[in-house]
Amino acid sequence: MPLTKIADFKIERLEILGADGRCDEALVPVISKEKMLEIYRMLVLIRVFDEKAFKLQRQGRLGTYPQILGQEATQIVPPMCLEKKDWLIPTYRGQGSYFARGMPLVNSLLYWGGDDRGAKLPDGQNDMIFAIPVGSHLTHAVGVAMAAQYRKDSAVALTYLGDGASSKGDFYEAMNFAGVYKAPVIFFVENNQWAISVSRKTQTSAQTIAQKAIGCGLSGIQVDGNDVFAVYRAVQEAIARARRGDGASVIEAETYRLGDHTTADDSSRYRSKEEIDLWKDRDPIARFRVFLTAQNVLTEDADLEVRRAAEEKVRSAIDEYESVPEPNPLSMFELIYGEPTWNILEQRAEFERYWASGSSRRETLASAGEGRFP
Amino acid sequence: MPELNLAQSINQALHQAMKTDDRIVILGEDVGVNGGVFRITDGLQKAFGAERVIDTPLAELGIVGVSVGMAAYGLKPICEIQFDGFLPSVMDQVINHFGRLRQRSQGKHAAGLILRSPHGGMVHAPEHHSESPEAYFAHTPGIKVVIPSTPKDAKGLMLAAIQCPDPVVFFEPKRIYRSIKENVPDESYEVAIGKARVAREGKDATVISWGALVHTCLEAAQKLQGEGVDVEVIDLRTLSPIDIGAILTSVSKTGHAVIAQEAPKTCSLASEISALIHERALLKLQAPVRRVTGWDTRTPLFRLEKYYFPDAARIAAAVRETMSF
Ligand SMILES: Cc1ncc(C[n+]2csc(CCOP(=O)(O)OP(=O)(O)O)c2C)c(N)n1
Ligand SMILES: [Mg+2]
């Protein structure tokens, strides 16, 4: 019996807008000028936010913060392809994606400032709170998609993961469920080349992360993640496929984490300045700006105005953050159960008595110890 | 004898043991080039190579499962789970495999591995980085659970864990990784697993604790000394098996016992210790045992963590209450 080929696979890579701002006209997605400007404004704004949040952390006004510098296109563009009825299930490096869905900036500041109230999504927004344990949210996205399918809502779920997260068993399980049930879900892999100090090569010996889709019967594609148009087009197509009932997709977007893993990390321990410089030249915002300017969609004056407006919005978000009163300690005992159980009620009362009793309580409260954490 | 902090003393123990024991392999996320996010494995990959100090893909269950296989083959894997909050995903390997491999294989294999993880809160860390999951492990048959509270004990316990034929879960109190220093002997020595330490002698009340909170208990004892209450502080050091002898000796002397832990109260290690004392020393007690714990809630984000974790004042108040029972 001869060997016969029974299946054949290929993985494509999509690039539309080059680092020099020139683009492949045949592939440019249809986007109105107004929408392009909206995308640009969001990109600029989230970069300003990221820079300011980083500074706040350095000044002791914010806790550990995960920068998104360099990943603005992958953060902002995919959620902008969703409809209101759809769901976003992001990661902890997700301030941009939440913002693009309409979450106020102040929420991200509150959350990374150690205040649980930051995790409250606006009413009517169909998204989930991100998970800190890497990859553990991916099956949730499939569940959301299967529930939408059951309800015949034609809503889709867009979920994010990193190159590191693609190593978790959860990713395989999620893709496999999505494949078996043709769930309307999009796995958007933000491959920023690093998982803290571990390089993309150490995560998998597969040539691409996109090809992991094949093993579960999903569509897989790699895109230039610093290319607004490539990201937009790939996400649009995946969403359309999901809505048609043609199943789930994996989009591997290649980008780069220009900052440290978080403000607690020092990436000079494990990567070179040359590598960072190489990726700085592939900046997603700069090339989009070149394109918009060349197309006369954006003038120099308008660009200055975009920046000024961004600075102002971010400043007012910071002002708001810093004027929010301290959280009430009694909130610790809320929302543990639908109705509090006896032990919660008893412990809450114990805490209340104790808190009220000690006038020196505030001074005697332990201060935070020394620690490093990513 | 140099002064070392807890992070350095564990690093030294690993370094010294790896020099002479080629069974030891270290694996985990960021443990190699980066030396671990807390730098506990700093310099080890340089010294012993990437074959022995392995930067793994991001997959906790994989890290622990692979370690079980290596241990079955006769190696001594020391794996790191980067944070306490990411331990839940490895429980399948802990409960269904390494805790029971010796008996399941009718004695052919034992998973004599070491699973290291930071422990506890109060470092203003993000969500899921301040957990105290020791009870899940101490509840599991077949594994030993240790947690040092001093640099000297950290080195001795690590070296004892490496010699231990059983799997050892080794918790490291992250709040005091760097804040406490003491002279640590250069040579190799072991601190016996299963033995508690009297961190402070006293005759009126016993406070039992472990990890970073031991130091908070010592603070509370200092406070109470001024009020004429002489507190004995027991640093458990090993959470499974519990040093029942040390606890009963102290409680029989003082007649008052308070247990302090960062973890939530219900079904916790404090519950177990309280039950043991009541079962075995009821007639020596002058008051019921009290537990001072984190609340039965999720660990809040860091703005509120000072209200969640017991502090010296709360521990002292519990001692006063037992004394005036
Ligand atoms: C299950 C789990 N293990 C470890 C960590 C600690 N940690 C936080 S982010 C991270 C790297 C994640 O890399 P990647 O998925 O590529 O996402 P990126 O941070 O690059 O956005 C690690 C190891 C975690 N949060 N969850
Ligand atoms: Mg990454």
Summary count for chain A: helices (H), strands (E): 13, 8
Q: Would you say residue A361 has pLDDT above 90?
A: no
Residue B310 falls inside a structural domain:
yes
Residues A313 and A357 in one domain: no
Looking up residue B203, the CATH number of its domain turns out to be 3.40.50.920
B159 and B223 both lie in a single domain: no
Backbone phi and psi for residue B97, each to the nearest 5 degrees, phi listed first: -125, -75
Tokens 């007649």: give the residue.
Answer: B255
Would you say residue A372 has pLDDT above 70? no
Atom index in ligand 1 nearest the CA of residue A134 equals 26
Is the residue at A5 inside a domain? Answer: no
B190 falls within a domain: no
Substitution target from B38, B39, B46, B127 for chain A, most A beta carbons within 10 A: B127
User: Is the CB of A191 inside a 6 Å radius of any atom of ligand 1?
Assistant: no
Contact between B57 and A169 using a beta-carbon 8 Å cutoff = no
Residues B61 and B210 reside in one and the same domain: no
Q: Which residues pair with B3 in a beta bridge?
A: B183
β-strands B197-200, B231-235 pairing: antiparallel
Structural domain count of chain B? 2
Pair (A350, A290) in one structural domain = no
Query: B151 and B261 in one domain?
Result: no
Is A4 among the domain residues? no
B81-105 burial, b at 16+ Cβ within 10 Å, e below that, comes to bbbbbbbbbbbebbbebbbbbbeee
Cα(A81) to ligand 2 centroid in Å equals 23
Same domain? For A268 and A339 the reply is no
Q: Are residues A232 and A360 in the same domain?
A: no
The pLDDT assigned to A21 comes to: 86
- Banded model confidence at residue A374, pLDDT cuts 50, 70, 90: very low
Q: Are residues A280 and A301 in the same domain?
A: yes
Per-residue pLDDT, B228? 97
**Same structural domain for residues B158 and B225?**
no
Report d(CA A353, CA A103) in Å as an integer.
37
Evaluate whether residue B192 is within a structural domain: no
Contacts A366 to B, Cβ<8 Å:
122, 216, 306, 309, 311-312
The pair of structure tokens assigned to B81 is 């789970």
Share of chain A above pLDDT 70, in %: 95
Contacts of A355 in chain B (CB under 8 A): 307
Residue with tokens 């008893």, as numbered in its chain: A346
**Domain-terminating residue out of B140, B160, B183:** B183
Whether B126 and A327 lie within 8 Å, measured CB to CB:
no
Q: In 3-state terms, what secondary structure has residue B264?
A: strand
Whether A370 has a pLDDT exceeding 60, the answer reads: no
Residue A30 beta carbon below 6 angstroms from any ligand 1 atom: no
User: Which among B34, B125, B128 has CB closest to A197?
Assistant: B34
Tens of pLDDT, residues A23-81: 999 999 999 999 999 999 999 999 999 999 999 999 999 999 999 999 999 999 999 99
Cβ–Cβ below 8 Å for A370 and B123: yes
> Is position A43 within any domain?
yes
Predicted pLDDT of residue A314: 98
Query: Mind giving me the DSSP string for B71-114?
Result: HHHT-EEEEE-S-GGG-GGGHHHIIIIITTHHHHTTTS-----E
For residues A124 and A42, membership in a common domain is answered with yes
B191 within a domain of the structure (yes/no): no
Indicate the average pLDDT of chain A. Answer: 95
Helical (H) or strand (E) element with A224: strand A219-224
Beta-sheet strand order (sheet of A12-14) = A12-14, A219-224, A249-254, A185-191, A157-162, A87-89
Contact B307 A332 (CB under 8 A): yes
Q: What is the CATH number of the domain that holds B165?
A: 3.40.50.970
Q: A175: exposed, middle or buried (C-beta count within 10 Å: 0-12, 13-18, 19+)?
A: buried
Mean pLDDT over B207-223 rounds to 98
A49 CB near ligand 1 (under 6 Å)? no
Domain, as residue range, for B58: 3-183
| Residue B103 counted as domain residue | yes
A1 located within any domain: no
Q: What is the pLDDT of residues B72-112, one digit of tens each?
A: 999 999 999 999 999 999 999 999 999 999 999 999 999 99
pTM of the model: 0.96
| Predicted complex ipTM | 0.96
Query: Is B152 in the same domain as B280?
Result: no
Residues A245 and A345 in one domain: no
Phi, psi of B234 (to 5 degrees): -105, 125
Q: Report how many domains make up chain A.
A: 2
Q: Which residues of A touch B312 (CB under 8 A)?
A: 364, 366
Tokens coding B105 = 């294989």
Residue nearest to atom 17 of ligand 1 (CA): A162
Amino acid at B90: V
Write out the E strands in A50-131.
87-89
CATH code of the domain in which A281 resides: 3.40.50.970
Are residues B207 and B179 located together in one domain of the fold? no
pLDDT digits (tens, 9 = 90+) for B242-274: 999 999 999 999 999 999 999 999 999 999 999
> How far is residue A185's CA from residue A175's CA, in Å, rounded to a whole number?
9
- A190 CA distance to ligand 2 centroid (A)? 7
Alpha-carbon distances, residue A128 vs A85, A103, A143 (angstroms):
13, 12, 12
Q: Is residue A154 part of a domain?
A: yes
| A295 lies in the same domain as A345 | no
pLDDT tens per residue across span A323-340: 999 999 999 999 999 999
Annotated active-site residue A261? The verdict is yes
Under the banding of pLDDT at 50, 70 and 90, the label for residue B1 is: confident
Same domain, A298 and A362: no
Structural domain contains residue B32: yes
Residue A226 forms part of a structural domain:
yes
**B295 C-beta closer than 6 A to ligand 1:** no
Q: pLDDT tens digits, residue range A183-210?
A: 999 999 999 999 999 999 999 999 999 9
What's the pLDDT at A111?
97
Pairing of strands A194-195, A198-199: antiparallel
What spacing in Å lies between the alpha carbon of A100 and ligand 2's midpoint? 20
Q: Is residue A374 part of a domain?
A: no
Q: B174 and B88: one domain?
A: yes
Segments forming the whole domain that contains residue A363: 329-368
B76 and B100 together in one domain: yes
Do B113 and B10 lie in a common domain? yes
The predicted structure's pLDDT at residue B82: 98
Q: Of A257, A282, A287, A289, which one is the catalytic site residue?
A: A257
Residue A275 within a domain:
yes
Looking at B127, B151, B183, the residue that finishes a domain is B183
Distance CA A14, CA A292 (A): 20
What would the mean pLDDT of B180-185 be, rounded to a whole number? Answer: 97
Say whether both A310 and A350 belong to one domain.
no
Residue A360 has pLDDT above 60, yes or no: no
**pLDDT exceeds 90 at position B202:** yes
Helix, strand, coil abundance in chain B, percent, nearest 5: 40, 20, 40
Output the residue whose Cα is nearest ligand 1's atom 13.
A195
CA distance B214 to chain A (A): 13
Are both A274 and A306 inside the same structural domain?
yes
> pLDDT grade, residue A136 (50/70/90)?
very high
The pLDDT tens digits of the residues spanning A86-134 come to 999 999 999 999 999 999 999 999 999 999 999 999 998 999 999 999 9
Which of A13, A270, A315, A361 does the annotation list as catalytic?
A270
Dist. CA A95–CA A75, nearest whole Å: 8
Give the list of residues 6+ apart from residue B77 with CB closer than 8 angstroms, or none: B24, B25, B26, B27, B66, B67, B70, B71, B113, B114
What local confidence, expressed as pLDDT, does residue B25 receive? 98
Whether the per-residue pLDDT at A366 is higher than 80: the answer is no
Same domain? B68 vs B202: no
Hey, which of A74, A134, A171 would you mutate to test ligand 1's pocket, going by the most ligand atoms within 8 Å of its Cβ? Answer: A134
Residue corresponding to tokens 């005091």: B176
Same domain, residue pair B151 and B205: no
- Respond yes or no: is residue A140 known to be catalytic: no
pLDDT in tens, B40-76: 999 999 999 999 999 999 999 999 999 999 999 999 9
The answer to whether B224 and B231 are in contact (CB under 8 A) is: yes
Per-residue pLDDT band for B147 (boundaries 50, 70, 90) equals: very high
Q: Determine, for residues B313 and A204 on separate chains, whether the beta-carbon distance falls below 8 Å.
A: no
Do residue A335 and residue A243 come from a single domain? no
- A135/B317 touch (CB, cutoff 8 Å), yes or no: no
Q: Domain boundary at B183, B211, B242, which? A: B183
Of B95, B237, B102, B100, give the one whose Cα is nearest residue B173.
Answer: B237
What pLDDT digit, counting tens, does each position of B287-314 carry? 999 999 999 999 999 999 999 999 999 9
pLDDT above 90 covers what percent of chain A?
A: 92
Which segments of B197-311 does DSSP mark as H helices, in order? 213-225, 244-254, 269-281, 305-308
Is the C-beta atom of A47 inside 6 A of ligand 1?
no
| Same domain membership, residue B274 and residue B154 | no
